[in-house]
Amino acid sequence: MIHAEAGRRGACVTASSRFAAEQGVVPGLSLAEARTLLDPACRNVPAHYEPHDPAADAAALRELAIGLQRFSPRVGIEGPDALALDIGGCAHLFGDEPGMARQVWQTLHRAGCRTRIAVAGTIGAAWGIARFTGERVTVVAVERAEGLLDPLPVEALRLSATTVGRLHRLDVRTVGRLRALPRESLPSRFGPEIVQRLDRLFGRGPELLEPVHSREPLEVGGEFAFPVADRQGLERVLQQLLAALVEQVRARREGILQLACRLGPEEGAAVEVVAGSSRPVDEVPRLWELLRLNLERTPLPEEIVAVRLRVVAAAPLGVHQHSLSGRDASREAGAEFDRLLDRLSSRLGSDAVLRPRLVPDAQPERACRFEPVDPARRTEVRPARRAGRDARDGGRDDGPGPVEPTGPTERPLYSWREPLPVEVVSIVPDGPPVRFRWQGRSHVIRSAWGPERIAAGWWRGPSVERDYYRVETEEGRRFWLYHDRRAESWRLHGSFE
């Protein structure tokens, strides 16, 4: 897997899997070169390319930081790929410092992260040692820190690329060699940051660790003085609570993705209704519409004594640039379409609003999957693949890759989820049908195209062996029949509507 981002040279690799790295795919390589190296090497499983998403990376790192708060209450983020833990006063709870570091490593390893950990007296020292020594876990005693830090490359000082380049041109490649230079001359030659970084590395200058805080859940609610049975009154209270909740969410410059409403009766279990949106929303009327549609299809307790609204998921509100011509019709249409899908999902349920995904499977009932459009239940969309190649593989890969429709001449536009048994007359055994009986009527077949033999699915258990025929009756109607070669029976699978 390779992450690529659009740079001046086009798309470049920003991260790669271990396998890709073994093939020579390193960060900075252009995507075209990476493809040249990777595609021939990946024979069995096609290489997976993913665009770089810094916001998602930052969010994942933040989640990781919050997860590590079980080791220390003060966990900070250091750059795009490092975390700093202040373990002062915590290490003895996990044995000692090496024991604690090992436990942190194991936790991150279980989370699927490739990690290197260093325990040192300063954040700078821990950052440099973790990055530039090959060990998984390094614990540096204060008294031998200088000896370990001097051989480190100057990149360990967390300097800008320009400063590092300038130092390299002067052949100053290690921290030790940099320290050998007159300290007074450093700011004028390399900028003020270099002295500050050196001081922080050796603990002579202060460095603040800004801890990540896990967020307080957003929740509003209240209890009625007496049980409420009036639906309109309840709706008014819910709208007021929703407005208060939206105010809190707006203060964070976020919108609501998922909202839970809990209604507590005087006796018995509370009822929880969850409303979702495909995009973050901070408008009370729209959220209320989604919640109302969900409430309409949920049996509610007769009398309610407590109500509570809780934000299950929130996300930053999207910022978009207005077009020069004023209204952006396609954007507005897209947003309105999303709102429609939210409304439909709210009233009918997520499993009723579906997006078809054609998959390269020879078995007709598996050739199309319906996935909920609801983002909470939406599965990952993989990039397009060539239908031809998958067909050559025998359709064994049943991943949800989009493929072209087969077309209205080959496949029916409507099909029965459970093919219907029909009585069929053929002149020749295993031959094309000449007449079939369905819905109490006899249909005389005038033309038949086939057989299209489909034998597939043996790797899933009982395989299918079918001879499909497209038939046209003497009235010009077209149907899709098949002869089940295993069960020796005929079934009607679709109609060419």
Partner 1 sequence: MTHIRPVPATIARLRRQLREWERSRGTPSPAATGRPAAVERSGATEVEAAERLFPGGCRAGSLVEWLAEGEGTGAATLALSCVETFLRNGGGRLIVVDDGDGGCGFHPPGLPPAIDPERIVVVRPRSVPDAWWVVEQSLRCRGVAVTLCRVRRADDRTLRRWQLAAEHGGGIGLLLRPSAARRGPSWADVRWLVEPLPCLSESHGRRWRLELLHCRGGTTLRAAPPGSAVELEQDHETGAVRVVSRLAAAETDCRAARA
Which residues are at the interface with partner 1 (CB under 8 A)? 330, 332-341, 343-344, 347-348, 352-358, 364, 367-368, 370, 373, 402, 404-418, 420, 446-447, 449, 472-479, 494-497
State the SS3 of 211-255. Answer: ECCCCCCCEEEEEEEEEECCHHHHHHHHHHHHHHHHHHHHHCCEE
CB closer to partner 1 out of 54 and 405: 405
Q: Which residues contact 44 (CB under 8 A, 6 or more apart)?
A: none
Cβ–Cβ < 8 Å for 99, 55 = no
CB closer to partner 1 out of 254 and 361: 361
Terminal Cα-to-Cα distance of the chain (whole angstroms) = 43
CB closer to partner 1 out of 16 and 345: 345
Paired with 323 in beta bridges are 326
Kindly state the smallest distance separating residue 341's Cβ from partner 1, in Å: 7
CB closer to partner 1 out of 32 and 413: 413
Kindly state the smallest distance separating residue 255's Cβ from partner 1, in Å: 19
CB closer to partner 1 out of 138 and 350: 350
Kindly state the smallest distance separating residue 44's Cβ from partner 1, in Å: 27
Kindly state the smallest distance separating residue 493's Cβ from partner 1, in Å: 9
CB closer to partner 1 out of 9 and 386: 386
Kindly state the smallest distance separating residue 347's Cβ from partner 1, in Å: 7
State the SS3 of 179-204. Answer: HHCCHHHHHHHHCCHHHHHHHHHCCC
CB closer to partner 1 out of 260 and 354: 354
Could you count the other beta carbons within 10 Å of the beta carbon of residue 105?
16
Kindly state the smallest distance separating residue 319's Cβ from partner 1, in Å: 21
Cβ–Cβ < 8 Å for 196, 183 = no
CA–CA dist 488, 486 (Å, integer) = 6
Kindly state the smallest distance separating residue 367's Cβ from partner 1, in Å: 5
Q: Which two tokens stand for residue 154?
A: 């100057």
CB closer to partner 1 out of 127 and 480: 480
- Buried b / exposed e across 72-86, counting CB within 10 Å, b at 16+? beebbbbeeebbbbe
Kindly state the smallest distance separating residue 277's Cβ from partner 1, in Å: 15
Task: Give how far the C-alpha of residue 298 lies from the chain's centroid of Cα atoms, to the nearest Å.
Answer: 29
CA–CA dist 431, 190 (Å, integer) = 87
Residue 483 burial by Cβ neighbours in a 10 Å radius (0-12, 13-18, 19+): buried
CB closer to partner 1 out of 266 and 336: 336
DSSP state of 4: E
Kindly state the smallest distance separating residue 334's Cβ from partner 1, in Å: 6
Kindly state the smallest distance separating residue 497's Cβ from partner 1, in Å: 4
CA–CA dist 491, 421 (Å, integer) = 4
Q: Which two tokens stand for residue 346?
A: 């709210």
What 102-111 contacts at long range (C-beta under 8 Å, 24+ apart), as own/partner pairs, is: 102/137, 103/71, 104/68, 104/71, 105/136, 105/137, 107/67, 107/68, 107/71, 108/64, 108/68, 111/64, 111/67
Q: Which two tokens stand for residue 297?
A: 């299809």
CB closer to partner 1 out of 267 and 475: 475
CB closer to partner 1 out of 50 and 474: 474
Kindly state the smallest distance separating residue 327's Cβ from partner 1, in Å: 12
Task: Give how far the C-alpha of residue 329 lies from the chain's centroid of Cα atoms, to the nearest Å.
Answer: 29
Kindly state the smallest distance separating residue 127's Cβ from partner 1, in Å: 45
What 26-34 contacts at long range (C-beta under 8 Å, 24+ apart), as own/partner pairs, is: 31/2, 31/4, 34/2, 34/4
Kindly state the smallest distance separating residue 47's Cβ from partner 1, in Å: 23
CB closer to partner 1 out of 41 and 329: 329
CB closer to partner 1 out of 293 and 304: 293
Cβ–Cβ < 8 Å for 303, 325 = no
CA–CA dist 179, 202 (Å, integer) = 11
